[in-house]
Amino acid sequence: MAKIRKFCAYRRYKRPYTRISKYREKSYIRTNPNIRITKFEMGSPTKKFDYTLNLLSKSFLQIRDNALESARQTANKTLEGGCGLTGYFMKVRVYPAQVLRENPLATGAGADRFSTGMQKSFGKPIGNAARVKKGKILFEVRVNKNQLPLAKNALRRAICKLPCPGMVEIIENK
C-alpha cells in the first residue's frame, strides 16, 4: 500500500477544482473512497445529561477523515473507561464529504514511456476530508456534572490528534 501524502498538500480551505468537459463522463469523479469514520454516535443517545461540551475549531481548513477517526477513538476510549457505556453521549458533528485527489507521477526506469505528466492531471481519489470553518463544532459530548473533568480531558486529548487548534465550550443543559 502506498504511503499517505503529507497533510500540508490538502490543508488549504479553498474551492476545489471542478473539471468541466464537453464529455459528461470526464466531468465527475468516478468513485468515492470509503470514509474511515466507523461510528458517528457513541454512548447513550436517549439519556438526559446535565452538560454539553463542544470541541470548536479555531481556524479554516480541511481535516482528513483518518485524523477525525483517530480523535474519535482517543476521546471515546477515555470516556468509556471513566463513565461506562451509558454514562456519556458523544457525536462527531462534521462529515468528510470533500474528495481528495492526487495526480500520481511515475518514477524509475522507463517512466517516460507511460507517464502523461500534467496532460490529463485531474487526479485519482485518494481520501476524504471535512471542510471546517472557524468556530465549527467538531465533536459534541454530553455528560453529568460529576463526569465533567473527564469529558474535558477527553476532548483535550482529541485536540492533540487534529491538525488545527481547538477550544472546548461548556454548556449547561436546563
pLDDT higher at 14 or 22: 22
Residues 50-73, mean pLDDT to the nearest whole number? 96
**Cα–Cα dist 137/171, whole Å:** 13
Ordered by where they begin, the domains of the chain are 36-101+119-172 (3.90.1170.10)
DSSP 27-74: GS-S--PPP----SEEE-SSS--SEEEEEEESS-EEEEHHHHHHHHHH
Q: Is the pLDDT of residue 1 over 60?
A: no
Please give the angle made by the CA atoms of 68, 66 and 15, to the nearest 5 degrees. Answer: 80
Q: What is the pLDDT of residue 4?
A: 78
Q: What is the pLDDT of residue 136?
A: 97
Residues 129-148, mean pLDDT to the nearest whole number? 96
Find, among 13, 130, 8, the residue nearest to 60 by Cα. Answer: 13
Residues 68-97, mean pLDDT to the nearest whole number? 96
Residues 86-92, mean pLDDT to the nearest whole number? 97
Residues 28-54, mean pLDDT to the nearest whole number? 92
Tell me the pLDDT band of 13, cut-offs 50, 70 and 90.
Answer: confident
Residues 66-73, mean pLDDT to the nearest whole number? 96
Q: Is the pLDDT of residue 110 over 80?
A: no
Q: What is the pLDDT of residue 10?
A: 80
Q: Is the pLDDT of residue 104 over 60?
A: yes
Q: What is the pLDDT of residue 2?
A: 63
pTM of the full structure = 0.87
